[in-house]
Structure 1
Amino acid sequence: MPAAVKAVYNRYPKPARIQLLKLRDLVFETAETLPETGPITETLKWGEPSYLNKAGTTIRLAWSDKRPDVVGLFVNCQTSLLDDWREHYSETLDLIGNREIRLPLGAPLPLEPLRHCIAMALTYKSRKDEK
């Protein structure tokens, strides 16, 4: 993990850091199952941990003291991902606007829906190009 990214995670309160690091692990674990994603670059965008690759759109993980009881998994608002995710997971995930999955702190992560959503984000450009 790059030092700048680690510093951001370390600034988050422990419950948020734990949940976000689980999401981070899920991004990398999911990417390993998708050879088309290529390498994942871990960096900061807007001061928040972000995960980029050539086949997909950026995934950003964040916590804010404005909503201290949740963390968010964000994607670019110009994608159609949230519409796609709503078709599959409107009853399972808290989907906000056109860019966020909001997850409560301390609750178990809904792993299978999140894996699918992450996979869709990591392959977004390559799937869009196929159409």
Structure 2
Amino acid sequence: MSTSSSTLRMVEVSGAEALWLLEGAELGRLMFVQREATVVRPARHVWEYGRLVVRTPVQPAVVPLTAAYHADAVQAATGTGWTVTASGPAEVISDPDEAAHYRRTLPGWAHGPHDTVVRIHPQTVTGFRLIRGTDKR
């Protein structure tokens, strides 16, 4: 194997491809800043009507006005795969019927005060493919 074929690199993908990758994933991480520290929580998500709906174990009161969501699929053996981050205004879904719908359709890790459904209105979506140096895709 030549040196270039074992070199890994990141290649930026279009916004449309990044959203396609995100739509195909089920797991990710909600990320936001709280008291000058970055908070990262596991989450499940669904992309609906141009919005990202996320179910995550966090108290509703700490969800900020802006949040980021990150999902990826990286193969440990090869280091190849993809990574996508979407960020923008965030809001807790407070309508009980709507929140109950997402709790039924998105499996979660916690129930009760740390079981929150958040809607993110992405303003920025970035995605990268992690590929071998000689791969075209």
Q: TM-score, normalised by structure 1?
A: 0.25
Which structure would you say has the larger RCO, counting Cα contacts within 8 Å and 6 or more residues apart? Answer: 2
Which is richer in helix? 1
Larger Rg: 2
Which is richer in strand? 2
Q: TM-score, normalised by structure 2?
A: 0.24
